[in-house]
Chain A
Amino acid sequence: MKTVRVIPCLDVDAGRVVKGVNFVGLIDAGDPAELAARYDAEGADEVVFLDITASSDGRGTMVEVVERAARQVFIPLTVGGGVRSVDDARRLLRAGADKVAVNTAAVQRPELVSELATEFGAQCVVVAIDARRAPVPEGMAYGAGWEVFIHGGRTSTGLDALEWAGRCEKLGAGELLVTSMDRDGTREGFDTELCRAISDAATIPLVASGGVGSLDHLVEGATAGRADAVLAASIFHFGEHSVAEAKRYLARHGVPVRPVAP
């Protein structure tokens, strides 16, 4: 059967978790490895580390973080942020990552996706797509789809998100991580139309991201958005909801998930 994965995402800056994390009982709430272990224990299906380190000096620390996490967490671990080459990916995979996510570098040099797929297999390659709704032209009811943005959503590319998603799949991506830049940080819920449009066209799995503020939003991502996995950050980090609660809520609302261990 198809089950929907629930994936907490941790933003990591120079080896530390940056968004407020509010767990009771952690020795070091800023340690990504310890948090990942906590999410694993709660029933997370995977964990994503997003490296938002701005300086190149800080980047090496991500490899150490992954190494530490991989020694204690035995669920899939995806690492994104700053992966620009096959060598970058190799370092993270060797350290214990199971998948690497590429975003800006893939848009700038799409062959990177096929290089990674050839070297490590498509199952390792996640293409992260940051998309924004195209503006609604005057006199029209809706805009022409979604545009891909890079550099953390700051730079427009002129690429249509659906076309880019299709191209990534052909290039050998194993999964798409689709973030709505319109919804990211708003807590208003996923852009389910964006998710659905890409998910219906894709034959590879789609992870919905951006905008989760409640457990109902996770349900919407899986149902209206037809996502194969739902990613969230703040609702888990701030201790509003545990991953276990999220999964029970999804199951109660008819979304199949891996049951949480009793």
Chain B
Amino acid sequence: MIAVLDYGIGNLGSACKALVSLGCDARLVSDPATVGGAAGVVLPGVGAFGRCMEALRGTGLDAVVKEVVGGGVPFLGICVGFQMLYESSEESPEVPGLGLLPGRVGLLPPGQKRPQMQWNALEPRSGTSAMLAGLGPRPWVYFVHSFAPVPAGWGPDRPAVGAVVATCDYGGPVVAAVEQGNLWAVQFHPEKSGTTGLALLANFARRCGEEVPGVPAASRAGGKFAAARIRVGAPDMGA
């Protein structure tokens, strides 16, 4: 079972619906006790950082996230669910984040409309990514956000620092995806990114041990459930 954490804010069901459409056993879970034993955990998030963080703490699911990430369980953070992994956010400076990743969340570069509410192309920033495997060399995905993570030590001239595997260009490079072992996190919305997003969710589901019959695996070379690892940076190998 893949647990999609439901901490009572806004519309958190979309990621669950998308996983279910792939044939996965995905469920919205609000009780920390129910998460135990899940093969994978998804932390979605919409709206303001502070409000999400407070709601997450209020349900006790913040401790679950720390446990899951530390315990090697496949984890996928989406949008504010990605941002909350950092120490703090410019959006809600008084509310600390989970601090699982070093760095903060900052406002998007000036000179562009905010929120970035559009499809944008991902620029791969690392040699390998199991999460982005099979999505093509420059996959297009849907973003809705005014803030984005700035990992410690990360900068436009050091775009892969902080386990960043993809950025998008919005008035400059913006961190779009991080992958560090079992921890996957994206600023965009895979559940709203059409077939490209479903392929990413299928990569996650397979990593959780789910069969995903509807979406062909990028590669089964590493064993039945092993995540495919391809060089996303090399144009000749982008599937």
Q: A residues 100-159 with Cβ under 8 Å of B?
A: 119-124
Asked, given contacts A204-B114, A228-B113, whether A96 binds B14 with beta carbons under 8 Å apart, the answer is: yes
Evaluate whether A74 and B193 lie within 8 angstroms (CB atoms) in the complex, with A94-B13, A228-B118 already known.
Answer: yes
Is A121's CB under 8 angstroms from B46's CB? yes
A204 touches B119 (CB 8 A): no
7 closest cross-chain pairs (CB), A and B:
A121-B47, A258-B119, A93-B11, A123-B144, A120-B10, A258-B140, A205-B117
Q: How many A-B residue pairs have CB under 8 A?
A: 98
- Which secondary structure dominates where chain A touches chain B? loop
The reply on A27 being an interface residue by CB < 8 A is no
Nearest to A73 among chain B residues (CB) is B194
**A3 surroundings in chain B (CB, below 8 A):** 118-120
Interface residue? A252 (CB, 8 A): no
**Total B residues in contact with A, Cβ cutoff 8 Å:** 36
Asked whether, in the complex, the Cβ of B115 is within 8 Å of the Cβ of A96, the reply is: no
CB distance from B55 to the nearest CB of A (A): 12
Q: Quick one: which of A46-102 are within 8 Å of B by CB?
A: 70-72, 74-76, 93-94, 96-98
Residue in A71, A76, A203 whose CB lies within 8 Å of B17: A71
Q: Which residue of B lies closest to A76 (CB)?
A: B192
Q: Is B69 an interface residue (CB 8 A)?
A: no
Q: Footprint of A on B, CB under 8 Å?
A: 9-11, 13-14, 17-18, 21, 46-48, 51, 112-115, 117-121, 140, 142, 144-146, 169-170, 189, 191-195, 197-198
Count of interface residues, chain A, beta-carbon cutoff 8 Å: 34
B142 & A75 in contact (Cβ 8 Å cutoff) = yes
Is there an interface contact between A96 and B17, defined as CB atoms closer than 8 Å?
Answer: yes
15 A-B residue contacts at CB 8 Å? A1-B120, A3-B119, A72-B21, A74-B193, A75-B192, A76-B189, A93-B11, A94-B11, A94-B13, A98-B192, A124-B10, A124-B11, A203-B113, A205-B117, A228-B113
B11 touches A120 (CB 8 A): yes
Across-interface contacts of B118 in A (CB, < 8 A):
2-3, 5, 45, 205, 228-229
A175 touches B194 (CB 8 A): no
Q: A75-B194, A124-B46 are in contact. Are A70 and B14 (CB under 8 A)?
A: yes
